[in-house]
């Protein structure tokens, strides 16, 4: 049985739930939110939808004990208005750190032994704090990190070069936030290094990177939140674990070098983070990565 759990049923959490149910990915789903009326409403809405689906998902609510045999647990609590007002995801840290402090003991007490995928902001710092308070292995706890930021970069580059974004490969690394950067040395378009393409000879790569970074704020300012793309990323990571896909992708994973979670390329499979990919970076990119990781590390250290 494919059993999932979601803690936090805001715009992202409920979109993850909707995706899991309507695509027939989850056989069983546990929904938990600080507002029990919201959990009940989402449960009923998803149950009503199933009369028109070809699959069935058992949906239960507000039961931490039911997390015991959950395979994939998403944590998606937050208040996006805090970060959109200030333009920095770290503005949410006080809020989400308090959430982690409240829910971590309950998750541990449930006997949960699956995998946690964090979607909260600031993703890397919160994932670090979550792993610390649960005591679970660093393989079992990871975040969506720059998986979505990389997709945004693929869209921007694809539009610029008039190609399908799926034909763009490469990584956005570092913080899922303002200190992220595009590792242009890793970017390939239809198999060719982007920096060697004649069509890209006059590109302003800093501007392209900024367009990708600002995509989140454009979505949030336009509809008040982000939901579809990040939920898609979260579900994809959960599926990669259950399918033992050995998916190579950027996530918020633990860096032994910098002793913190940070957006880096990793292999995701049945053991969660199977391994971290040692990506060759230019000297400038290494410096950006180190600065971003240090900022995350120091921010989490202040909570101790």
Confidence (pLDDT) at 87: 65
Strand residues in the chain grouped as ranges (E): 3-7, 28-32, 58-61, 72-75, 115-118, 141-143, 168-173, 181-189, 192-193, 247-255, 260-269, 272-276
- For residue 210, the surrounding DSSP H or E stretch is helix 205-223
All structural domains of the chain with their residue ranges = 3-143, 147-301
- For residue 213, the surrounding DSSP H or E stretch is helix 205-223
**Starting from the edge strand earliest in sequence, which strands make up the sheet with 168-173, in order?**
168-173, 181-189, 192-193
- Name the pTM for this structure: 0.95
What pLDDT, in 10s, does the model give residues 273-284? 999 999 999 999
Catalytic option among 113, 162, 176, 297: 176
Q: Is the peptide bond before 122 cis (omega within 30 degrees of 0)?
A: yes
At the topology level, CATH places domain 3-143 in: Rossmann fold (3.40.50)
What pLDDT, in 10s, does the model give residues 103-157? 999 999 999 999 999 999 999 999 999 999 999 999 999 999 999 999 999 999 9
Instruction: Report DSSP letters for 12-51, one per residue.
Output: HHHHHHHHHHHTT--SEEEEE-SSHHHHHHHHHHHHHHGG
Question: How many residues would you count in the chain?
Answer: 304
Among 264, 269, 267, which residue's Cα sits nearest to residue 239? 269
CATH numeric code, 147-301: 3.90.110.10
Q: Using alpha carbons only, give the angle 299, 180, 192 rounded to the nearest 5 degrees.
A: 155
Q: How far apart are CA 12 and CA 185, in angstroms?
A: 32
Note if 176 is an active site residue.
yes
Question: Do 3-143 and 147-301 show the same overall fold?
Answer: no
């Amino acid at each position: 049985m494919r059993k999932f759990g979601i803690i936090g049923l805001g715009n992202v959490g409920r979109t993850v739930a909707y995706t899991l149910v309507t695509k027939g990915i989850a056989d069983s789903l546990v929904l938990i939110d600080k507002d029990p009326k919201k959990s009940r409403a989402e449960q009923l809405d998803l149950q009503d939808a199933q009369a028109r689906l070809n699959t069935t998902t058992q949906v239960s609510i507000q039961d931490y004990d039911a997390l015991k045999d959950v395979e994939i647990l998403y944590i998606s609590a937050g208040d996006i208005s805090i970060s959109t007002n200030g333009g920095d995801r770290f503005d949410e840290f006080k809020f989400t750190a308090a959430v982690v402090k409240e829910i971590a003991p309950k998750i541990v007490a449930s006997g949960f032994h699956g995998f946690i995928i964090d979607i909260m902001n600031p993703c890397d710092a919160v994932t670090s704090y979550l792993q610390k308070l649960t005591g679970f292995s660093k393989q079992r706890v990871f975040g969506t990190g720059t998986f979505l930021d990389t997709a945004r970069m693929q869209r921007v580059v694809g539009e610029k070069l008039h190609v399908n974004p799926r034909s763009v490969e490469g990584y956005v690394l570092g913080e899922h936030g303002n200190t992220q950067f595009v590792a242009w040395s890793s970017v390939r378009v239809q198999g060719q290094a982007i920096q060697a393409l004649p069509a890209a000879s006059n590109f302003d790569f800093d501007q392209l990177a900024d367009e990708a970074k600002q995509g989140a704020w454009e979505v949030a300012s336009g509809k008040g939140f982000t939901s579809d793309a990040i939920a898609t990323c979260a579900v994809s990571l959960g599926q990669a674990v259950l399918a033992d896909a050995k998916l190579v992708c950027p996530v918020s994973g633990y860096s032994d070098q910098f002793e913190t979670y940070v957006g880096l390329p990793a292999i995701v499979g049945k053991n969660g983070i199977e391994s971290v990919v040692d990506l060759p970076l230019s000297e400038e990119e290494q410096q950006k990565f180190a600065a971003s990781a240090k900022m995350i590390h120091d921010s989490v250290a202040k909570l101790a």
